[in-house]
Amino acid sequence: DIDQEYGGKLDWPVFFGNDHEVELDVGCGRGLFLFRASETRPGTNFLGMEIDYREGRRSARRLQKQERQNARVLGGDANVALDRMIEPHSVSAIHVYFPDPWWKKRHRRRRIFTDEFVGRCARLLKPGGYLHSWTDVEEYFGVISGIMDHHELFTKEEPPAEVLPEHDMDYQTSFERKKRKDGWEIFRGLWQRKAL
């Protein structure tokens, strides 16, 4: 139990066994981003969060098979973990790729991107840290951009140049792979946390 072992707040050097920078992957799904990022950036630690325990376990097993010491997966509600388990200004980047758009109007309150969520991200990110978000839903990207662009602690940045994948494992996420192969447009956003 993390609350018992770590006293409720994660101590990154204890949790990962080193003092490297930490990045979060909120809604990590099957873990392709964690898998790729932990391999290409061994000097950075990654914590994935996934509310769907089946997908979270799949992601964790994939990382465990490859003995990735710099990546972990936490099952449960990311908003709860962000509030209770992570120290302020202790994270270098937060990645939110293809969040559920919750199509039905009555379900839209379930969307991860809210003013409260962005406030949590601002509290956790170090000054100069980044929030990355991609989606295939133009309407939802408009909502995300509207919230982010009007938050006083973030500035909009130009996303990195898009690189077309050459191989199935070159995609950012499994969901991106599916959508790109189906010909969908991907909307990408990047915002930087302002200095304190």
- Tell me which residues are annotated as active site: 100
Q: Which of 88, 185, 85, 193 is nearest to 141 (CA)?
A: 185
Q: What is the DSSP letter of 180?
A: H
Whether 16 and 37 have beta carbons less than 8 Å apart is answered as no
The C-alpha atoms of residue 27 and residue 71 are separated, in whole angstroms, by 14
The C-alpha atoms of residue 186 and residue 196 are separated, in whole angstroms, by 32
Beta bridge partners of 24: 47, 94
The C-alpha atoms of residue 124 and residue 150 are separated, in whole angstroms, by 18
The C-alpha atoms of residue 45 and residue 23 are separated, in whole angstroms, by 6
